[in-house]
Structures are given as C-alpha cells and as structure tokens.
Chains A and B, each alone.
Chain A
Amino acid sequence: MRKYLKILLPVGVICILGAIFYSPYHTWARKHVNLMTATEDHPLNCASCHLYLQKSGVISKLVNAHYYSPFNLAVSNDGRYLYVVAEEGNTLLVVDTKKQKVTHKVEVGNRPHSIILSKDGNTAYVSNQWSDNVSVVDLTSFTVTDTLKTGGGPAGVALSADGKYLYVANSFSSDLSVIDISTGAERKRLNAGNSPAGVQINADGSLVFVTSRRTLSKPFGDTIRCELTIINDNKQRVVERRDVKSAYIMENISFTPSGDLAIMPLVRPKNNVPTIQIERGWMMTNGIGIVEQKPSGRTIQLLLDEPNAYYADPFDIAITPDGKRAFVSNAGVDCITVIDIDAIRKLIAESTNETLKTYANHLGISSRFVLKRIRTGANPKGLALSPDGKKLYVAEHLEDRIAVISTESLETTGTIDLGGSGRITVARHGRRLLNNAGHTFQNQYSCYTCHPDAHEDGLVYNMASKDMGRNITNTQSLRNIGDTPPYKWNGKNQTVYKQDGMRFSTVLTRTEAFSYRDLDALAAYIMTGIPNPPNLQYNPNGELTESQKHGKAIFERTHNFKGYEIPIVNRCVTCHPAPYYTNKKMADVGTLAASDDSILFDTPHLNNIFASPPYLHDGRAASLEEIWTLYGKTEQHGSVNDLTKIQLNELIEYLKALRDPEYEQKSTEILHASFGHK
C-alpha cells in the first residue's frame, strides 16, 4: 500500500495543483491567444505559433521541409527524358520516363522558371527568375556550361527559328532579352508588356509571341488591357502590341501545328464591378484567348468556366501534334481542361464578332469545346507533350510529382515522384491552400488569383463598402508581411489569423470559412514562407549608387534644404523605418477620396516597393513619382515640396533600391560587426 501511496501522492498533488492552476492558466492562455491572433475564438494550440511560425532556428528546420516544386518541363526529342525545372530545388531534374525516376540533378540558378531545348536536344536553356540569368545546361554531361545575363526576372524562353538567338521574357523588368547564343551576349532588349511571361515562336518561325501577366497601368475604371507582344523573328523588332482587353495573367501561349491559331490561358477579372456577389461570375472568370493567325486575325476570348463551376488560375497550355486537342492546366482547381480545337474552329468560324464578344462573358460556351476535366495533384503548372503526342506530362507544382496523362483515353495513367520531402508540412499545406480555389465559392478564384506568386496582381478593386462604388482598393503584396501588421488598408485586421478569418469568407471567398487547421497552415505559410525576390534590378549587392545614397539622405533627413526642421510626422523615416519601412501605424497622408469611408490608412511596408505599382490605397498613383508630383501637394505625405526634380528622382531611386528585410537585417548585422571590430 505504501508503495502505491508513493505513486498516488505525487499524482494527487499534481492533480490538485493542476486543478488549482488550471483555471488561471486557461484564462491567461485564452488572453494570450486572443492577443496573438486578434480573434477570440482561435483554439488554444501552442503549436500554431510556437512551432509553425518560427522563421529560423532548429525548430523551423524541424517543422519545415525542402521541396522541389516542379514548375515547367520539357521532353527530350526521343521522349525518353523529362527535364523538370524545380522552382524551389533550384535544380533541373532529369527524369527517365521509362524508369519513372529522377536520374540526374543539375544545379541551376535561383528560382528557375522555364526551359527550352536546342533543336538537337543536347542543350537546355533554363531561366533563373531570381538570378537574372539563364543557365546553359549540357544534356550529355548534365553540367551547366554557361550562364547568360538577362534582364530582371527571366521567365519564359524561346529559340529563334534558326536557333541562333534565345528570347527571354524578363518578368520583372518587363522586357525581352534577345541573346546571341554564339557569344552569350545580350544583343538587344525589347520593351514588352507588363510582366511578360510566356514566349513562343509561331508555326512558321516568323513571329515570336510574348504574353504578359499584369495589365498596362490605367486609372481605376478604364477597361483593363494586357499586352500580347509580337516580334518579327528576323528583324527582332516588335511588330505589334496587341491589347487583350478585360483580361490579364496571360501566362503562356501555344500554337497549333498548322499555325492557324494561337491559344493562351487568361483570367478575366471583374475588378471594376462592385464586389457584391460571387454568383454568376461577378468576381472572376477564367478562360482562353485565341489569336487567329491570319491578316486582320481576331483575338477571341472564351471562358473555360461553367455557370456553377469555375476553373481558377489557368496556367499552361499544350497542343497535340495533330492540332486536335489542347490541354490547359487549371492550377487553382487541380485539373487539366481538355479542349476540342476543331470545335473552337467551328465556333469562331460560324460566329459574328458581336456574338464572339458575348461569348467572352458566357459561362455556357465552354460546353461547346471542353471535352473533359482531368483531376491532378496539387497545383498543376507546366505541361509538356511527348513527341508522339500520346502522353501529357503535368508538373504538379505543390505535389513534387509529374502526372502522366494519356491524350487518347484522357485518363491519368501514372505519376512520377520527384523525390522531394514526403511529408506535407503545415506551411506547405498553407501554400497549397493559398494556391487553391477550393476555399472560394464554386472555386471561382484562389488567393493566388489576386496575389500571383504571393505578390499582387496590380489591379484596383471596387470593394463596395456601405454603398457600391465606394472604397476602391489597391491589392497589396503578401510577400514578407508576417511582421507588418495591421493588415488591409484600413488596418482593421491586426493579424493574419483575423485577416483570413470569418470576415474574409463573408467578403471575399463567400463560402465556409477556413477551418482552424487550415487557418493555422495559411498563417504559417504567409508569415514565414514568402520572401521577396532579390532586388537585382535596383540593388543587386547592397551597395547604393551615389543617387541612391542621396535619396537615402533625403529619406532620412530631419531638415529641409532651406535649413528648417521638418516636423517629425512629415519625415519619411518616421512612418517608414527599416527594416520593413513601416511603423505599422495608421496615417492620413492626404489621400482620402470622396468615395472612401472616413478612415486612416495603414502605412504600407516598402520592401521591394518598385515591384508593386500602382501606388497608394486606391492605386491612383501609377508610378512612385506620382505619389508626390500629383498626389502629395499638401505635404501630408512627407515633406518634399522643396525637392528639385533631381532630388525627387534620387529619393525614388532609393525607394526602388529597398530590398527584403532579410537583406536589411543582414546589412545591419554587418554594420554592427564592423563597429565591434573597431
């Protein structure tokens, strides 16, 4: 009995103590969680924050994992090998299609994006979006033999008809590099649309088509336009800039082998329409653009959606060698849409221009040409067909897997595992959620749709507050926002948990709110897993140019150039201190519009601000300059009226040089270290 007493006594004491302290501990924990999540109903789960929100250190390494995230791919001429661009693995994976496994891994640059093979199939050109270069990979030795400098954010790649030139769409600097392969030098750079993405040469090799993702900057209310840039392959000059109206996020393009049509996935947003309902396609629609390849050829838009089902985030397109079928990856709904191209040919041949204009907004038209929707793994992105056209390979981006689909039976015949981490971490689950439209009513759009690449889409939406037509809101980036609360321009959400909670579902997704598990995952991804790309364009190594240094001095100045002290509230650095360049407070910078509710606005963070036009809460400023030249005359948004144009340019050059906080913190550490050494 004593023996048991020895056990029972401590247990009893613990139980009694537990009973005594449970209530106060629970109360404290509730308050703590309420404070940290800015909600009152989040479960008391310590792991939500103390495990999953760790950005670095041992815990972070334990709870997170490495993934390959296949993004685009190419097939060897004999169909034996797949060359898979692993976006997160920074590698080119060589997959033996017979052995169904990865046989080689070639390390390329940072965040590789796209791949093109030379005609002989011995060389691969891989664009590295975060390195501003292209890796030249020898596919016989599986080594990188050269690195070609490009513009900012190289994405889509194509070879000229004679194979002598490489075209690279620079998605950040919005231009197209023309690289002489024999010398490796950039021959010229052609201005493209806003954030060009896909590059394809047409069937007869005479023209190069470049799609773009963002719209051309226009004030809110104008018809949005996204540019399809057409380049003469011989002259290497732009011959046409075709505006594709009411569309954006034109990621890729593909030509029929006969050359009669070019087809590109696109999204048709409804940002100019008040966000009053989601039913009947009032928020976002998804479709394809068809460019007739003949003189005065039309650009036709058809929706892939259906009245009660939407196919969010169309990404890539592949057309079979017989020109009969097209496959579009709908990344937001994990499926491939199969299109009967002959049906499209018939449809557009028998339709008047007026009818085609109506079709662009018709949810029923897809029934005329969509043959099937084939389910895939998470977030299907790049597509590639085997040379005989019998197999479609799908890069399942967030599944670390390649799906193999029979183009005859239209069934998935197998998958090839790329060997990434087998487990799905909480943050990875969050990334899947962010890229999936399943949490929006009828899958109409995902977080990605308005935040492509976890950034922003450059559009301004009518959020329709108390009356329609009010509260015009500029989409904000999700990159590295974890430490920059509050959220939303009105600053009413103090945490990501609150931002993506119940109100989010009421206003935006209009379907059931995220479960707490999903909310934890989404918060974990948003708060830890979305860095800004390196600012190679304006600040490649942290060394500011002379102009940028002058701009920094203006940014941090306490006295104007007449010698008068600037009130603290009017100094740039007061509201925009490093490393996030926000004081996380609300402010009135004189931009309240008559259509706005009378509120203060959240001070935005300025990291990589160059990449986020338009500016101000309602996107009225198309460029950084306009913030002050057109909309800063009252001096409420910083003291700038004494600046000369040179000085204003310097200030803006400095702002464009701001980078991700990661770099800012590193540079701060270096600075401290050098002081310590002294």
Chain B
Amino acid sequence: MVIILAGIALAGLILSKKPGHSEKNTKRDNLPAASDYQNSSDVDLPNSSGVIKEAKAMPVYGHWRNFTTKDGLPSDKAYTVRIDGDRVLVGTHDGLAVYENEKWHTYTTKDGLAHNGVVSVDVSELTGDVWIGTLGGLTRWSSGKFTTFNQFNSGLPNDLVYCVYCDGKDIWVATGGGAGHYDTQTGLWDIFTEQNAPMHEPWTYGVSAGGSKVYIAAWGGGVIEYDNKTKRFRDYTDPDGFMEIDLQPDDGVVHDITTATSYNDSILWVSTYFGMSRYDGKNWKGYFNTDSGLASNFINFLRAEGRVVFVCSDNGLSSTDGTTWVTYKKDDNSENGKAIITTGNEKKEIPLSPSISHNFIIGVDAKDDILWVATSKGVSRGELLK
C-alpha cells in the first residue's frame, strides 16, 4: 500500500504542474550573446542599490539554453540532473540522457537500465561509478556497464528509488520501502524503516550525507539523521506537527513531510511541500515564499553547493545563501523570463531571454560556472553571469 501511495504521490508530483503553453525549442543560435545580456543588466541594475552588492555575492545564471525532445532528449519530463565532469546526466521519464560533446545519448532498459523512469542520479567521487535511482530499481553504471539492484535480486528496500546518494564507499537510497544503505565493499544492505528507525512510515523521498552523518527526508517523519560513527538515529520533526503553517518560527524543520535534504558548508538544508529549512547544527531557520525570495513553498528538491542552495519548486527555481535570494521564473506566455534578486525587502528583476524552460523544477545541479535544471518541459543550462 505504501508503495502504491508513493507511486501515486510521485506521479502527482510529476504531473501536477503541466506546462500551460506549448513552448518552442530554444536553439543555441537564438541565444543572446553574453555582451547583449551584459548590456541589459547594465541598464537594469541600479549601481547604488544594496541588491547589487548582495547579488554579486550570489551567483546569477543566464544565457539559458533549453533542451527538449527536439534536441535529442528522450522525454521532456526531466526528473533529475547531475553534472559528471564533461558530461551531464539527465534522468527522464524515458531513460537516462547523457549530454556530452554537444550531443545527447539515451540509455534505457535495453542497455541494462533497471527502469526507464530515472528519478535520481549521483556519481561516486571515489570510483566514478554512476548510481541511478529509477522507478524500478537501482542501477550502477560503471564504465559503460549497467548492473541492476532491485528488491528481488538484492537487499534494496524497494524498487521505487526516489533518491540515491554516494557517500564514499556507501550508497544511500531513499525508496518507497524505506531508506537503504549499501556498503559497496561488503556488499551488505541495511534497510531503515519505521520498524528500526524513528520514522512514521517507510516512505522516504530524499537522502544526503555530510559531516559523517546521513540525512533522510522521510514522508511525515521530518529529517532522520543517522550518525555513521555511532550507528544511531535521531529525528528532526516539526514541533507544530502536520500543521501547514509554522506557528512558532524557526523552532525546527518547517514541516514533517520532507522532500529532500542537502548538507554542505556545515549547513543542512531541508525542503518540504510547505517551505524550506536551514539548520546550522544549533538553530533551525524556516523560509517561505511569503517572507523570502523563495519561488514557492512546494519544493520538490534542493541541492546545496558550497554556501548556496538551489531550490526546485513548482513555480520556479530559487537559490540562496540564506540572505540573498535569486529566483528564476519563466514567463507564462513566452520563452523569456526573469531572475528576481531579493535581499530583505529589496527586490530587483533581471529579464532573461530566453529563460529556464519551465517553472516546474524537479532537479538541479551546479558546477563551476554552469547550472543545469531539470524541469517538466526539458532541461535548461545556464551560465554564470560575471
């Protein structure tokens, strides 16, 4: 039943925001030159504003280039994106798409993928192996060879693998049947559910690790922290319970229905369908679209890179260092959009032409000066505006 519910929820997650308008494929030839964009920003950004100062501290991405099936993507429904060196791995509804040397190549079950619905991808820094979470199991893609782990042939908790995270030799998965830990050296699996961990039910959405701890985003269970050293759990739940409003600000994670966690620069970021939380090890802070630059409280995923977290919502992509926000939104009726820079009460918009390909964002990854975004209408690639 849990699996079914999870599947329904995921389907809802994926399908809830359909693009309102048909969008044209954006070709590179149509992209504005960097100098063009620089000119426009020169015009739009008032030099004396504090927004400018903060914005310079926060990376802003432009020169967006969008990819859809017309460009070779197997499906416009992109669930996840991960940058792996010179290539980009995109999980789509119809397989794993790999962008390399300006070309897309798709891998499906025919190649050995566990399932064509690829919802999570991570790359082991240690081995270079790519771990792929799908709706039908977990696949390891290593130097061209696919190996599938599923609930029938291995200790994988469940075949609905919503999230996979590589932490050294350990592979963590968040599945519809609990969180799983696979030790690549011993080959042993651990499963964590409500039976042996402080969860309400086995349905988990996200997992990440950092600082020798693992953070599991558990449906209705807030964040479950697993200490690799002590092998013990503790949970972080919303003191307000399931209430959709945060009665007591910054008293903990903003809601128990968590969708993702990401730990970086000693900060744990947690996304929920009702806002976002930041935890520095002592204090929690909540963020909502009403009191910050957050695009929407309905957050599908987030990923922290250094001090900046990128937040994927149902109404645009936000990024913040906790103070300044940069949110990317596409206009409803055109390929254009904007970046909204918010610091405190100050807000400034930068027009972007083109913009990200869709406002329903599910995946994001940033490396160096490049930002990739997975949306329900293709993937987008942005470059850092310097």
Q: Do B187 and A239 have beta carbons less than 8 Å apart?
A: no
- Among B154, B178, B184, B190, which residue has its beta carbon within 8 angstroms of that of A191? B184
- Among B127, B188, B193, which residue has its beta carbon within 8 angstroms of that of A238? B127
Given contacts A173-B185, A237-B128, A623-B154, A191 and B191 within 8 Å (CB-CB):
no
Which residues of chain B are within 8 angstroms of A241 by Cβ–Cβ distance? 142-145
Cβ of A576 < 8 Å from any Cβ of B? no
Among A227, A241, A646, max chain B CB count under 10 A is at A646
Q: Do A189 and B142 have beta carbons less than 8 Å apart?
A: no
Cβ of B153 < 8 Å from any Cβ of A? yes
Cβ of A629 < 8 Å from any Cβ of B? yes
Q: Do A645 and B177 have beta carbons less than 8 Å apart?
A: yes
Query: How many residues of chain B are within 8 Å of chain A by beta carbon?
Result: 30
- Among A173, A188, A230, A626, which residue has its beta carbon within 8 angstroms of that of B152? A626
Q: Do A151 and B185 have beta carbons less than 8 Å apart?
A: yes
Closest chain A residue, CB of each to CB of B193: A646
Which residues of chain A are within 8 angstroms of B129 by Cβ–Cβ distance? 191, 238
Cβ of A649 < 8 Å from any Cβ of B? yes
Q: Do B153 and A622 have beta carbons less than 8 Å apart?
A: yes
Cβ of B169 < 8 Å from any Cβ of A? yes
Given contacts A190-B127, A191-B129, A630 and B152 within 8 Å (CB-CB):
yes
Q: Do B127 and A239 have beta carbons less than 8 Å apart?
A: no
Which residues of chain A are within 8 angstroms of B4 by Cβ–Cβ distance? none
Cβ of A625 < 8 Å from any Cβ of B? yes
Cβ of A175 < 8 Å from any Cβ of B? yes
Which residues of chain B are within 8 angstroms of A189 by Cβ–Cβ distance? 127, 169, 184-185
Q: Do A240 and B151 have beta carbons less than 8 Å apart?
A: no
Which residues of chain A are within 8 angstroms of B151 by Cβ–Cβ distance? 629, 645
For the complex, what is the distance from the CA of A213 to the CA of B187, rounded to whole Å?
A: 19
Fill in one digit per residue for B201-221: 1 if any A CB lies within 8 Å of its CB, else 0: 000000000000000000000
Cβ of A537 < 8 Å from any Cβ of B? yes
Cβ of A305 < 8 Å from any Cβ of B? no
Closest chain B residue, CB of each to CB of A231: B143
Cβ of B376 < 8 Å from any Cβ of A? no
Interface of A is mostly: mixed
For the complex, what is the distance from the CA of A151 to the CA of B158, rounded to whole Å?
A: 28
Cβ of A456 < 8 Å from any Cβ of B? no
Which residues of chain B are within 8 angstroms of A253 by Cβ–Cβ distance? none
Within 8 A of A (CB), among B153-176: 153-155, 157-158, 169
Cβ of B333 < 8 Å from any Cβ of A? no
Closest chain B residue, CB of each to CB of A626: B153
Q: How far is the CB of B231 from chain A (nearest CB, A)?
A: 10
Within 8 A of B (CB), among A123-161: 151
Q: Do A629 and B152 have beta carbons less than 8 Å apart?
A: yes
Which residues of chain B are within 8 angstroms of A188 by Cβ–Cβ distance? 126-127, 169
Cβ of A652 < 8 Å from any Cβ of B? yes
Closest chain A residue, CB of each to CB of B156: A645
Cβ of A316 < 8 Å from any Cβ of B? no
Within 8 A of B (CB), among A208-243: 227, 230, 235, 237-241, 243
Q: Do B191 and A646 have beta carbons less than 8 Å apart?
A: yes
Which residues of chain B are within 8 angstroms of A622 by Cβ–Cβ distance? 153
Cβ of A334 < 8 Å from any Cβ of B? no
Cβ of B189 < 8 Å from any Cβ of A? yes
Closest chain B residue, CB of each to CB of A623: B153
Q: Do A649 and B127 have beta carbons less than 8 Å apart?
A: no
Closest chain B residue, CB of each to CB of A239: B143
Which residues of chain B are within 8 angstroms of A625 by Cβ–Cβ distance? 152-155
Closest chain B residue, CB of each to CB of A648: B155
Cβ of A653 < 8 Å from any Cβ of B? yes
For the complex, what is the distance from the CA of A241 to the CA of B142, rounded to whole Å?
A: 8
For the complex, what is the distance from the CA of A403 to the CA of B196, rounded to whole Å?
A: 60
Q: How far is the CB of A508 from chain B (nearest CB, A)?
A: 31
Closest chain A residue, CB of each to CB of B188: A653
For the complex, what is the distance from the CA of A574 to the CA of B142, rounded to whole Å?
A: 42
Q: How far is the CB of B196 from chain A (nearest CB, A)?
A: 7
Fill in one digit per residue for A93-122: 1 if any B CB lies within 8 Å of its CB, else 0: 000000000000000000000000000000
Cβ of B186 < 8 Å from any Cβ of A? yes
Q: How far is the CB of B319 from chain A (nearest CB, A)?
A: 31
Within 8 A of A (CB), among B65-105: none
- How many residue pairs bridge A and B at CB < 8 Å? 79
Which residues of chain B are within 8 angstroms of A235 by Cβ–Cβ distance? 128
For the complex, what is the distance from the CA of A537 to the CA of B183, rounded to whole Å?
A: 12
For the complex, what is the distance from the CA of A653 to the CA of B189, rounded to whole Å?
A: 9
Which residues of chain B are within 8 angstroms of A239 by Cβ–Cβ distance? 143
Which residues of chain B are within 8 angstroms of A652 by Cβ–Cβ distance? 155
For the complex, what is the distance from the CA of A230 to the CA of B185, rounded to whole Å?
A: 19
Cβ of B109 < 8 Å from any Cβ of A? no
Fill in one digit per residue for B342-375: 1 if any A CB lies within 8 Å of its CB, else 0: 0000000000000000000000000000000000
Closest chain A residue, CB of each to CB of B168: A188
Given contacts A622-B153, A629-B153, A649 and B128 within 8 Å (CB-CB):
no
Q: How far is the CB of B78 from chain A (nearest CB, A)?
A: 27
- Among A240, A626, A644, which residue has its beta carbon within 8 angstroms of that of B143? A240
Closest chain A residue, CB of each to CB of B152: A629
For the complex, what is the distance from the CA of A656 to the CA of B188, rounded to whole Å?
A: 10
Q: Do B144 and A240 have beta carbons less than 8 Å apart?
A: yes
For the complex, what is the distance from the CA of A191 to the CA of B143, rounded to whole Å?
A: 11
Which residues of chain B are within 8 angstroms of A630 by Cβ–Cβ distance? 152-153
For the complex, what is the distance from the CA of A167 to the CA of B29, rounded to whole Å?
A: 48
Which residues of chain A are within 8 angstroms of B184 by Cβ–Cβ distance? 175, 189, 191
Q: Do B153 and A537 have beta carbons less than 8 Å apart?
A: no
Q: How far is the CB of B148 from chain A (nearest CB, A)?
A: 10
Which residues of chain A are within 8 angstroms of B323 by Cβ–Cβ distance? none
Which residues of chain B are within 8 angstroms of A644 by Cβ–Cβ distance? 193, 195
Q: How far is the CB of A335 from chain B (nearest CB, A)?
A: 36
Given contacts A188-B127, A237-B127, A175 and B142 within 8 Å (CB-CB):
no
Closest chain A residue, CB of each to CB of B157: A645
Which residues of chain A are within 8 angstroms of B186 by Cβ–Cβ distance? 173, 537-538
Cβ of B140 < 8 Å from any Cβ of A? yes
Within 8 A of B (CB), among A626-678: 626, 629-630, 644-646, 649, 652-653, 656
- Among A191, A230, A656, which residue has its beta carbon within 8 angstroms of that of B127? A191
Q: Do A238 and B191 have beta carbons less than 8 Å apart?
A: no
Which residues of chain B are within 8 angstroms of A656 by Cβ–Cβ distance? 188
Q: Do B185 and A238 have beta carbons less than 8 Å apart?
A: no
Q: How far is the CB of B239 from chain A (nearest CB, A)?
A: 30
Which residues of chain B are within 8 angstroms of A227 by Cβ–Cβ distance? 145
Q: Do B158 and A645 have beta carbons less than 8 Å apart?
A: yes
Q: How far is the CB of B339 from chain A (nearest CB, A)?
A: 37
Fill in one digit per residue for B126-147: 1 if any A CB lies within 8 Å of its CB, else 0: 1111000000000010111100
Which residues of chain B are within 8 angstroms of A238 by Cβ–Cβ distance? 127-129, 142-143
For the complex, what is the distance from the CA of A501 to the CA of B153, rounded to whole Å?
A: 38
For the complex, what is the distance from the CA of A626 to the CA of B190, rounded to whole Å?
A: 17
Among B185, B187, B196, max chain A CB count under 10 A is at B185
Given contacts A189-B169, A238-B127, A646 and B188 within 8 Å (CB-CB):
no
Fill in one digit per residue for A376-393: 1 if any B CB lies within 8 Å of its CB, else 0: 000000000000000000
For the complex, what is the distance from the CA of A175 to the CA of B147, rounded to whole Å?
A: 14
Which residues of chain B are within 8 angstroms of A547 by Cβ–Cβ distance? 188, 190
Q: Do B153 and A191 have beta carbons less than 8 Å apart?
A: no
Which residues of chain A are within 8 angstroms of B142 by Cβ–Cβ distance? 191, 238, 241
Q: Do A175 and B152 have beta carbons less than 8 Å apart?
A: no
For the complex, what is the distance from the CA of A537 to the CA of B177, rounded to whole Å?
A: 27
For the complex, what is the distance from the CA of A175 to the CA of B144, rounded to whole Å?
A: 17
Binding site for A on B (CB under 8 A): 126-129, 140, 142-145, 151-155, 157-158, 169, 177-178, 184-191, 193, 195-196
Binding site for B on A (CB under 8 A): 151, 173, 175, 188-191, 227, 230, 235, 237-241, 243, 537-538, 547, 622-623, 625-626, 629-630, 644-646, 649, 652-653, 656
5 contacts between A and B (CB under 8 A): A151-B185, A237-B127, A240-B143, A626-B152, A645-B191
A191-B129, A191-B184, A629-B153 known, 17 other contacts, Cβ within 8 Å: A173-B187, A235-B128, A238-B128, A239-B143, A241-B144, A243-B145, A538-B188, A625-B152, A625-B154, A626-B152, A626-B153, A629-B151, A645-B177, A646-B157, A646-B195, A649-B191, A653-B188
